[in-house]
Amino acid sequence: MLTPDQIRHCHDQGFLVLPGFHDAATLAAVRDRSLAIVDAFDAEGETAVFSSRERALTSDAALIASGSGVHCFFETEAFGADGRLNRDKQLAVNKIGHAMHDLDPVFHRFFRDPRGAAICAGLGLQRPLLWQSQVIFKPPGIGGEVRWHQDASFFDTTPQTVTTFWYALEDATRDNGCLWVQPGGHRGPLRERFVRDGDRLQMEALDDTPWPTTADGVPLEVPAGTLVVFHGLLPHGSAANRSAVSRLACTLHVTDGAAAYSPRNWLQRTDTLPVRGF
Ligand SMILES: O=C(O)CCC(=O)C(=O)O
């Protein structure tokens, strides 16, 4: 699936952009399914928010449950002073996570595309394991910033193997909060680790190497249908979406079963829903 040049680029730079990976019909099916999940979600009963900048706002219990479920998390700015959603719920969702690839037939097909397995093989993952899937909405006006981070903080393995698949379901531009990456930044240290201790989740500091700024990073302005694959140590993030259009994307996080998955990682699976490959 990947050419030797693409594999070399990914190893050198820490990321690879593959335009035209998915056709319009596939994007529409995934988008429609995402909106149907939001429609069916009880926004009166459950209003967990997700904020990458203010972690304390996200409920540990909701996040832990979502590791083996399909949960909607809302934008922090989607609530009025009365504590109720201040807009249509389809325009209020931050993301859906984190086990759609195991629990939902549409996402099962999408994320278990055999080309994903071929990409993993090209990048040297011997036994890919699919831990986490997300739909990130970045809704118009209130789509939250995703601060600079490394995905290995969330999926620590020895050695580091986590690889991220980021799929643009809509055009991503600087205006609507496209992904930013630091080319070559995957050669830096792991700066922090998100760990679970019983019912509690916390971010542990490991290394005080500063995060990149937009001066060190590059914006990945990509059309709908593009796949971006990147190394788990690559610093990346995205700005808030203050534009009038959404920036829908999906992500998949894969580790190598040949590496040791940390028992302290926030997301653990049990025998009722074991982690599986493609
Ligand atoms: O889609 C985004 O804005 C960022 C997603 C991301 O960084 C992640 O899921 O690790």
Question: For residue range 32-46, what is the model confidence (pLDDT) as tens digits?
Answer: 999 999 999 876 666
What tokens appear for 66 in the block?
């979502």
Distance (angstroms) between ligand 1 centre and the Cα of 245 equals 18
pLDDT in tens, 181-237: 999 999 999 999 999 999 999 999 999 999 999 899 999 999 999 999 999 999 999
Q: What is the DSSP letter of 257?
A: T
Q: What is the mean pLDDT of the chain?
A: 95
**Cβ atoms 255, 268 nearer than 8 A:** no
Per-residue pLDDT at 84: 87
Going by alpha carbons, the residue nearest to atom 10 of ligand 1 is 151
pLDDT score of 31 more than 70: yes
Going by alpha carbons, the residue nearest to atom 9 of ligand 1 is 251
Distance (angstroms) between ligand 1 centre and the Cα of 1 equals 24
- Does the beta carbon of 255 lie inside 6 Å of ligand 1? no
pLDDT in tens, 52-100: 666 666 788 899 999 999 999 999 999 888 888 999 999 999 999 999 9
Say which CATH architecture domain 4-22+99-261 belongs to: Sandwich (2.60)
- Does the beta carbon of 196 lie inside 6 Å of ligand 1? no
Per-residue pLDDT at 83: 84
- Does the beta carbon of 179 lie inside 6 Å of ligand 1? yes
CA-to-CA separations, 143 to 9, 128, 136, 178, in angstroms, rounded = 31, 31, 9, 11
Per-residue pLDDT at 11: 98
Per-residue pLDDT at 46: 63
- Does the beta carbon of 249 lie inside 6 Å of ligand 1? yes
- 146-149: strand order across its sheet: 146-149, 236-238, 179-181, 218-220
The 3-class SS string of 34-64 reads HHHHHHHCCCCCCCCECCCCCHHHCCHHHHH
- Does the beta carbon of 239 lie inside 6 Å of ligand 1? no
What tokens appear for 165 in the block?
């698949």
Ligand 1 atom at minimal distance to the Cα of residue 251: 9
Give, for ligand 1, the residue of 136, 169, 186 to mutate: max count of ligand atoms closer than 8 Å to Cβ: 136
- Does the beta carbon of 251 lie inside 6 Å of ligand 1? yes
Q: What is the DSSP letter of 209?
A: P
Per-residue pLDDT at 45: 67
Of the CA atoms within 13 Å of residue 189, those in its CB half-sphere come to 9
**Cβ atoms 13, 114 nearer than 8 A:** no
pLDDT score of 112 more than 80: yes
Neighbour tally for 23: CB within 10 Å: 9
Neighbour tally for 89: CB within 10 Å: 17
Q: Which residues of 117-134 are buried (b: 16+ CB within 10 A; e: fewer)?
A: bebbebbebeebbbbbbb
Distance (angstroms) between ligand 1 centre and the Cα of 251 equals 7
